[in-house]
Structure 1
Amino acid sequence: MTRRPAFFLMVLVPLLWSMAGIFTRQLALLKNVEIVFWRSLFAAIFVAAYLVVARKEPFFSGLKKLGLSGFLSALMWAVIFTCFMLALTLTTVANTLLVGSITPLLTAFFSWLFLGKKTPVRTWIAIVFTIAGVVWIFAGNIGNMKDTHLAGLLFALAVPFAYATNYIIFSRAGKTIDMMPAIFLGGVLSSAAMIPLALPLEASVSDIGILAVLGVFQLGLPCLLLVYVSRFLFPAEMALIAMLEIVLGPLWVWIGIKEVPSVETLVGGSVVLLCLLSHEVASMLHMRNKRGNL
C-alpha cells in the first residue's frame, strides 16, 4: 500500500470514531460502567473474530508474540476504551473530544523524545493552528460547563496520553510485531475491569444492540484500521488526521438530536478541518517534489 490509500483509510478511522456521541445518546442505560463493559466486550469479540478469519495460525499464538511493547499497547487500548466512554457519559460530546485535541502535540513531542524523529515544520504549523481552533471552541463553551463535568474531563485527559503512547509503540514495534491482537487484549482488560462495577447488568436488548454497533463499527473496526495504516504514516500525522473526530462528533449530535453547537464551535471546527486539508495537500506536494528530484 502507498501513502495515499493509507491516508484515506486513516480518514475513515475518525469518521467511525465520531459515531460514539450520537449512538451513546440513544441509550436508555444510565450505568456508565456497564456501557464501557458491553462496548469493550463487543469490540474484543469482533477483533478476535477478525484475527481468527484473517490469520492462518492459531489465535493465541498472536498474543504470545506481542512481547512487552504489545502488552503495553494493550494497556493503552484498555485506558482508551474505558476512559473515553466514561468521559462521554459524564460530560458533553464536545468537551470529551476537545480534550483529545492535545493528542497531536503529545505525539509529536513523544516522537522527538522516544524516537528521535524530526517532525516536519508543516505538521507543527498545522498542530498549532489546530489547537488554536480547539482553544477557541473551548473558550466559547467554558461558561456552560458544570461542576459535574470535572470528572468527565479528567477521564478524557487520560485518552490523548494513551493514544500518543500507542502511536509511538506502533512506529517503533509495529513493523516487526503484529499489534492487532493488542486491541483484542485491550478490550478484554477494559471489560474485565468494569464487570465487577457493572453487576448486576441492566442493559435492555435494545441497548445491547446499540452497544454492539458501537463495539464493532465505532471501536473494533477503526482500531484495526489504525494499526494497519500505522505502517505507512508518521505518528504525528496520524494523530493530526484523527482530529477530524473533533469536528465530526459534535456535528452528528447536532444533526441527530439537535444538540446545537455554539458559533465558537463552528468557527473552531472549520479551522481544524482547514488545517487538516492544508496539511495533507502540503504533504502530497512535498512527496511529489521529492520523487521528481530523484
Structure 2
Amino acid sequence: MKLTHSQAVALMVAVALMWSIAGVVTRHLESARSFEVTFWRSFFTLLSLLVLLPMFQGREVFARIRHSGRYLWISGICWSVMFTAFMLALTMTSVANVLVTLALGPLLTALVARIFIGHRIPPRTWTAIGVAGAGIAWMYGRQLSMGGVGQFAGTLVALLVPMAAAVNWTVVQRSQAHGESIDLVPAVLVGAAISSLMTLPLAFPFAATGRDLGLLALLGLVQLAIPCVLAVICARVLKAPEMSLLALLEIIFGILLAWVGAGEVPAASVLTGGLLVIGALVANELMGWRYRA
C-alpha cells in the first residue's frame, strides 16, 4: 500500500482516533473487570493479527517469527507489558490520567536511549523532560493530597506503559544498529500472545457478558490490531516528528470521548498536568523538526 503524504496524515489521524476509543468502550462494560478485561482484549488482538498479518505480509510471516532473533522476542515482552498495564490502569483510574501518563513515552525513550545506547539528548529535550515531569508531578501530587489513593495507584500502573515503550523503542534502535531490523507488527502479535497467557490464570472466574465480549472484541480488532498495522504503513511515508505529533491526538480524542460518551469529566489537576506534558512534547518536536530542516 503506497500513500501520498496527505493520505498518510489523514490515515494517521484515523489511527489516533481508533486508539482513543479504549477508555470510553471500557466504561460501558457490564461485568468484566481487571485482568479479565486485559485477557479478552489481548486475546481478540491475537486472533485479529493472526488473520491480518498473512493478508499484508503473506503466510511466511509466521516462519519469520519462529526464526527471529532475541530482539523481536524482547520487543514482544515489552508490548505485553504495555497491553496489560494499559487495560489494568483503565479499570483503576480515569481515562485522562492514563492517557496523560502515556504521553511521557517519547521523553522516557530519549532518557533510556541516552543511558543504554549513548544517544545524545539536546538541551530542548532536557527542557521538555523537565516541564513534562513537573506536569506529571503536579497531577500525582494533587491526587495524593485529595486522598485519591486508588487513582494514584492506577496512574502508577499506567506509568509502566511509557516505561515499557521506552525500552521497546530502544531495543528496536539497538537491533537496527546490529543489522537486525524488527518488524513491529509481528512483535505486537507476540506481545498479545504473551499478555493473553500471563493474564488468563488471573482472569478467572470469567464474568464477562455477551455484550462485554463484543465490546472487548471491538477493542482487540479496531482499537489495537488494525491501527497497529496502519501505523506501520504510515511510518513509511511520515517522518518521526510527524508521527509523534499526530499520535498525540489520541490523548485529546480519548479524553473527549470519555467525557462525551461516558460522562467522565477530567479533573482540573489532570488538565493542567496534561497541558504541560503535551505542550512540552509539541514544542520539543516542532523545534527538532525546524532544526533538522
Length-normalised TM-score, structure 1: 0.81
Superposition deviation, residue 151 in structure 1: 4.5
Verify: 1:198 aligned to 2:198, yes or no: no
Closer, same or farther in 2 for the Cα pair 1:2/1:245, shift >3 Å?
Answer: same
Confirm or deny: 8 A CA contact 2:54 2:61 kept in the other structure: yes
Name structure 2 gaps, 5 residues minimum: none
Which stretches in structure 1 are left out of the alignment for 5+ residues? 289-294
Give 1:156's aligned residue: 158
Closer, same or farther in 2 for the Cα pair 1:150/1:18, shift >3 Å?
A: same
Write the distance in 2 (CA, Å) between the matches of 1:11 and 1:265: 23
* Residue type at the aligned position of 2:260: I
Q: Is structure 2 residue 223 aligned with structure 1 residue 218? A: yes
Rounded Cα–Cα distance in structure 2 between residues aligned with 1:139 and 1:87: 18
Q: Does structure 1 conserve the Cα–Cα contact (< 8 Å) formed by 2:22 and 2:219?
A: yes
Which residue of the partner structure matches residue 85 of structure 1?
87
Between the aligned partners of 1:145 and 1:250, the Cα distance in structure 2 is 23
1:281 alignment partner in structure 2: 286
Q: 1:57 to 1:210 in 2, by over 3 A?
A: closer
Task: Tell me if structure 2 keeps the 8 A contact 1:91–1:149.
Answer: yes
Distance in 1 between residues matched to 2:71 and 2:103, nearest whole Å: 25
User: How far apart are residue 40 of structure 1 and its match?
Assistant: 0.3
Q: What is the number of residues matched between the two proteins? A: 287
Aligned to 1:28: 30
Residue type of the partner of 1:220?
Answer: A
Q: Which amino acid aligns with 1:285?
A: R
- Residue type of the alignment partner of 2:43: L
**SS at the partner of 1:201?**
coil
CA distance in 1, matches of 2:155, 2:272: 22
Q: 1:259 offset after TM fit, Å? A: 1.7
8 A Cα contact 1:80 1:162, kept in partner: yes
Kept in 1, the 8 Å contact 2:94–2:264? The answer is no
Q: Paired residue for 2:108?
A: 106
Distance 1:11 1:53, change over 3 A: same
Match of 2:190 in 1: 185
Q: CA deviation at 1:165?
A: 0.8
For the 8 Å contact 1:65–1:177, the answer to whether it is kept is no
Q: Which residue of 1 aligns with 2:99?
A: 97
Task: Give secondary structure in 1 for the equivalent of 2:266.
Answer: coil
**Stretch deviating more after TM superposition (217-226 or 70-79):** 217-226
Cα distance change of structure 1 residues 5 and 286 upon mapping to structure 2, 3 Å threshold: farther
Q: Secondary structure of the residue that 1:176 maps to in structure 2? A: coil
Shift in alpha-carbon separation, 1:101–1:180, aligned structure 2, 3 A: closer
Say which SS state the counterpart of residue 31 (structure 2) adopts: coil
1:54 is matched with 56
* Residues 1:119 and 1:228: Cα distance change in structure 2 (over 3 Å): farther
2:72 matched residue in structure 1? 70
C-alpha RMSD over aligned residues: 3.2
Paired amino acid for 1:93: V
Identity %: 39
TM-score, normalized by length of structure 2? 0.81
Q: Is the Cα contact below 8 Å between 1:244 and 1:272 reproduced in 2?
A: no
TM-superposed deviation, 1:150: 5.3
| Residue 122 of structure 1: how far off its partner (Å) | 3.1
| SS of corresponding position for 2:264 | coil
What is aligned with 1:135? 137
CA shift at 1:267, angstroms?
A: 3.5
Aligned partners of 1:93, 1:73: CA distance in 2, in Å? 26
Q: Deviations over 1:251-272 (max 9, x none)?
A: 3212222222233333333344
Paired letter, 1:251: L
